[in-house]
C-alpha cells in the first residue's frame, strides 16, 4: 500500500502541473506576445537572457536549498499527514503563490517583492514590506553561513587530527591572530572555532563576489550543476530505497494514518505542520526570488514552467524526503524523532542506503553547497530591491559595490549575534510573507475581474495558520491555549477577508504605490 500511495502522490503533483497549472495560467491571462524585461531593458548584469533550462535549475536552487530536505524530515514526525500537506499544499497554494507572484513581477517589468505588494496593497504595506524584506534577505544570507562553515570546520578538524602533522597545525590555529575573535567566556580558544571563523570569512567573500558580478558569470554557470546535485541526492536515495530489500516504501501504512497526528510528543498538527513544512508546500521566500529570474525570461509563456513547474519540482523533492524519513525508520515517527536532527537523519539515511563513501560525500556536498546557494541569492535580491527603491542604476561595478557593502556589514553583524530566537520564528516569518503575497495576488486578480479565488482561498487558509501559530507557539510572547489561538487565527483570516471585500476591488490604479 505504501508504494501505491507514494506513486499516487507523485502522480497528483504531475497532474496538478498539467491541469491546475494550466487553469491558473488562463486565469492570470498570460500574453506570450508581450515584451519581457530582458527584451526591453537588458543591462548585461541582472537583466540577462538565459536559456530556459538554466532558468529552471537556477530558480529551483534559489527557492529550494535545504528547505525541501530538512522541513519535510521535521514534518514526517507527524506521520503520513505530511504527505497530504506536501501534495495539496504545493498544488493549490505553493505553486499558485509562486506562479502569480512571478507572473506579476514579469507584468510589472521584473518588479521586486516590495513593489509587488505596494502596487496592490498600498504604499504603507509597500514601505513596511520593503524594510521587512531587506532585513529578511540579509538574515537568510547570514543564517546560511553558520551551517556550512561549521560543517567545513568539523570535517577539516577531523582530517587534521588524523594526519601526523595535524596536531601542530591545530596548535598554531589556537595561537594565530584570528584566535582573539574566537575566545570563549573563560578566555579559552578552540581550533574548531578558528576554523569556523575562517570558513565563514571565505563564504562571505564568495557571497560578495556572487552578489556584485553579472548573473551569468557565476550563478548562471554553476547553479544548474548544483541543482542537479540536489535532484541526484533525492532521486538517488529513492532508487536505493526501492532497490534495497531491507526497506519498503511507507511500511505499516494504514489509510487512517493520513488523518491522524502521530507526533510522538503530541505536538498539534494544526498549525505546526503547516509551518514546519514550508519549502515543499508553500514559502514566502520564493516570492522574493522570482523577480530575479523574471529579469532573464524571453517570454511570459515560460512563467508556468519556471514558477508553477519549479514549485511542483520542489514538491516532488519534499515528497521524496518525507517518504525517506518514514521508510528508513520503518514507518515509525518516534524512531525518526529519536534519530536526531534533520542533518543526522540525512547523514544516516544517505550512508545507510548508498554506503559510507558515496553517501557521506553526497551529504557533505549537499549540506555545504545547498545552503550557500540560498545565501548568495538572498544578498543579491537585497541589492536588487535597494536598487529598485533608490532608482540606482546597476550597470557599473562601483554602483553595485556601494549597495552591497552595507548589506554585508549588516549580515556580518547578524552572523556573530544570537540567532536562536529569530531562527525559531523563521518559519512563521516565511509563511507570513506567503500570506501577504497571496492577498496581493488576490487583489491583482479581482481588480481585473478575474477568478481571484485561486489566490483568496489559500490566502485565507495560510492567514489562519500564521495567526494560530503566532498566538500558540511557545517561543512567542503570547503562548495562548490552542482553542484561543485558533480563534485568533480565524479572526485574523476573517479580518483580512473583510478588508479584501471592502477595498480589494475598488482601489484605483492611481493609488498604487510606485517607486
Q: What is the pLDDT of residue 463?
A: 97
Q: State the Cα–Cα distance between residues 112 and 130, nearest whole angstrom.
A: 9
CA dist 210 to 45, 165, 220, 226, 372, Å?
Answer: 11, 35, 10, 15, 11
Mean pLDDT score, 170-197: 73
**How does DSSP assign 218-278, residue by residue?**
THHHHHHHHHHHHHHHHHHHHHHHHH-TT--SSTT--GGGGGS---TT---HHHHHHHHS-
The predicted-structure confidence for 34-66, as pLDDT tens digits, reads as follows 999 988 888 888 888 899 999 998 898 888 777
Q: What is the pLDDT of residue 513?
A: 40
User: 133 versus 148: which is more confidently predicted?
Assistant: 133
pLDDT-derived band at 167 (thresholds 50, 70, 90) equals confident
Q: Above 80 in pLDDT, residue 422?
A: no
pLDDT-derived band at 156 (thresholds 50, 70, 90) equals confident
Q: What is the pLDDT of residue 450?
A: 94
Q: What is the pLDDT of residue 191?
A: 77
Q: State the Cα–Cα distance between residues 94 and 72, nearest whole angstrom.
A: 15
- Give the lowest-confidence range in 77-86, 117-126, 167-176, 361-370: 361-370
Buried b (16+ CB within 10 A) or exposed e, 146-177: bbbbbbbbeebbeebeeeeebeeebeebbeee
Q: State the Cα–Cα distance between residues 36 and 295, nearest whole angstrom.
A: 8
Contact indicator for 238, 32 with CB cutoff of 8 Å: no
Of 3, 4, 5, residue with least CA distance to 83:
5
Classify 79 as helix, strand or coil: coil
**How does DSSP assign 358-420, residue by residue?**
HHHHHHHHHHHHHHHHHHHHHHHHHHHHHHHHHT---SSHHHHHHHHHHHHHHHHHHHTS--H
Q: Kindly report the CA angle at 403 between 401 and 407, in degrees rounded to 5?
A: 105
Q: State the Cα–Cα distance between residues 405 and 398, nearest whole angstrom.
A: 11
**What predicted TM-score, i.e. pTM, was given to this entire model?**
0.85
Q: State the Cα–Cα distance between residues 514 and 488, nearest whole angstrom.
A: 33
Contact indicator for 474, 79 with CB cutoff of 8 Å: no
Q: Above 50 in pLDDT, residue 515?
A: no
Of 220, 140, 222, 208, residue with least CA distance to 397:
208
The predicted-structure confidence for 75-118, as pLDDT tens digits, reads as follows 999 999 999 999 999 999 999 999 999 999 999 988 888 888 98
pLDDT-derived band at 420 (thresholds 50, 70, 90) equals very low
- Burial (CB count within 10 angstroms: exposed 0-12, middle 13-18, buried 19+), residue 52: middle
Within 13 Å and on the Cβ side, how many CA atoms surround 199? 23
In the chain, pLDDT over 90 holds for what percent of residues?
Answer: 35
**Residue that is written with C-alpha cell 485565507 in the block:** 460
Of 300, 331, 365, residue with least CA distance to 69:
365
pLDDT-derived band at 187 (thresholds 50, 70, 90) equals low
The predicted-structure confidence for 2-18, as pLDDT tens digits, reads as follows 788 999 999 999 999 99
CA dist 185 to 126, 180, 182, 189, Å?
Answer: 43, 12, 10, 10
Q: What is the pLDDT of residue 375?
A: 82
User: 261 versus 356: which is more confidently predicted?
Assistant: 261
Q: Above 70 in pLDDT, residue 188?
A: no
pLDDT-derived band at 461 (thresholds 50, 70, 90) equals very high
Contact indicator for 385, 114 with CB cutoff of 8 Å: yes
Q: What is the pLDDT of residue 183?
A: 65
Classify 477 as helix, strand or coil: coil
Q: What is the mean pLDDT of the chain?
A: 85
CA dist 43 to 47, 296, 317, Å?
Answer: 5, 11, 34
User: 500 versus 139: which is more confidently predicted?
Assistant: 500
DSSP 487: H
- Give the lowest-confidence range in 27-36, 186-195, 412-421: 412-421
**Residue that is written with C-alpha cell 497530504 in the block:** 84
Instruction: Work out the number of other CB atoms within 10 angstroms of the CB of residue 397.
Output: 12
Domains of the chain: 1-504 (1.10.4160)
Contact indicator for 2, 251 with CB cutoff of 8 Å: yes
Mean pLDDT score, 176-187: 67
Q: What is the pLDDT of residue 511?
A: 41
How big is the chain, counted in residues? 515
Q: What is the pLDDT of residue 456?
A: 97
Amino acid at each position: 500500500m505504501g508504494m501505491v500511495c507514494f506513486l499516487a502522490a507523485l502522480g497528483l503533483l504531475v497532474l496538478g502541473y498539467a491541469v491546475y497549472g494550466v487553469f491558473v495560467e488562463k486565469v492570470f491571462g498570460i500574453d506570450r506576445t508581450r515584451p519581457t524585461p530582458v527584451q526591453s531593458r537588458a543591462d548585461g548584469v541582472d537583466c540577462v537572457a538565459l536559456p530556459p533550462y538554466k532558468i529552471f535549475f537556477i530558480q529551483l536552487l534559489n527557492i529550494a536549498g535545504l528547505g525541501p530536505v530538512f522541513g519535510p524530515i521535521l514534518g514526517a514526525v507527524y506521520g503520513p499527514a505530511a504527505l497530504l500537506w506536501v501534495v495539496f499544499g504545493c498544488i493549490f497554494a505553493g505553486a499558485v503563490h509562486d506562479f502569480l507572484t512571478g507572473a506579476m513581477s514579469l507584468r510589472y517589468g521584473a518588479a521586486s517583492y516590495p513593489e509587488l505588494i505596494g502596487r496592490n496593497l498600498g504604499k504603507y504595506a509597500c514601505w513596511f514590506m520593503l524594510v521587512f524584506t531587506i532585513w529578511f534577505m540579509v538574515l537568510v544570507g547570514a543564517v546560511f553561513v553558520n551551517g556550512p562553515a561549521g560543517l567545513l570546520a568539523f570535517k577539516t578538524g577531523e582530517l587534521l587530527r588524523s594526519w601526523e602533522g595535524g596536531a601542530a597545525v591545530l596548535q598554531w590555529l589556537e595561537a594565530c591572530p584570528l584566535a582573539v575573535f574566537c575566545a570563549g567566556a573563560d578566555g579559552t580558544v578552540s581550533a574548531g572555532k578558528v576554523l569556523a571563523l575562517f570558513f565563514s570569512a571565505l563564504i562571505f567573500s564568495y557571497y560578495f563576489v556572487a552578489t556584485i558580478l553579472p548573473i551569468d558569470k557565476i550563478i548562471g554557470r554553476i547553479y544548474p550543476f548544483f541543482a542537479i546535485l540536489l535532484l541526484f541526492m533525492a532521486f538517488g536515495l529513492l532508487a536505493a530505497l526501492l532497490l534495497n530489500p531491507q526497506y519498503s516504501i511507507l511500511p505499516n501504512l494504514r489509510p487512517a494514518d493520513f488523518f491522524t497526528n502521530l507526533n510522538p510528543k503530541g505536538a498539534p498538527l494544526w498549525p505546526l505542520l503547516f509551518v514546519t513544512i514550508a519549502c515543499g508546500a508553500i514559502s514566502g521566500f520564493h516570492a522574493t526570488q522570482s523577480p530575479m529570474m523574471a529579469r532573464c525570461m524571453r517570454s511570459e509563456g515560460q512563467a508556468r514552467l519556471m514558477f508553477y513547474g519549479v514549485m511542483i519540482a520542489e514538491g516532488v523533492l519534499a515528497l521524496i524526503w518525507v517518504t525517506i524519513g518514514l521508510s528508513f525508520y520503518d514507518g515509525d515517527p518516534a524512531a525518526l524523532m529519536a534519530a536526531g536532527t534533520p542533518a543526522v537523519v540525512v547523514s544516516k539515511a544517505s550512508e545507510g542506503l548508498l554506503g559510507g563513501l558515496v553517501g557521506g560525500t553526497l551529504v557533505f556536498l549537499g549540506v555545504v553547497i545547498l545552503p550557500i546557494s540560498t545565501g548568495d541569492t538572498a544578498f543579491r535580491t537585497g541589492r536588487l530591491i535597494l536598487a529598485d527603491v533608490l532608482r540606482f542604476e546597476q550597470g557599473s561595478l562601483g554602483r553595485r559595490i556601494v549597495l552591497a557593502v552595507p548589506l554585508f556589514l549588516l549580515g556580518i553583524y547578524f552572523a556573530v549575534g544570537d540567532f536562536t530566537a529569530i531562527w525559531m520564528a523563521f518559519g512563521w516569518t516565511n509563511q507570513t510573507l506567503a500570506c501577504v503575497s497571496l492577498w496581493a495576488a488576490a487583489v491583482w486578480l479581482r481588480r481585473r475581474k478575474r477568478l481571484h479565488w485561486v489566490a483568496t482561498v489559500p490566502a485565507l487558509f495560510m492567514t489562519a495558520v500564521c495567526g494560530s501559530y503566532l498566538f500558540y507557539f511557545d517561543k512567542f510572547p503570547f503562548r495562548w491555549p490552542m482553542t484561543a489561538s485558533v480563534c485568533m487565527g480565524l479572526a485574523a483570516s476573517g479580518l483580512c477577508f473583510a478588508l479584501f471585500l471592502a477595498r480589494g476591488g475598488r482601489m484605483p490604479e492611481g493609488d498604487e504605490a510606485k517607486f
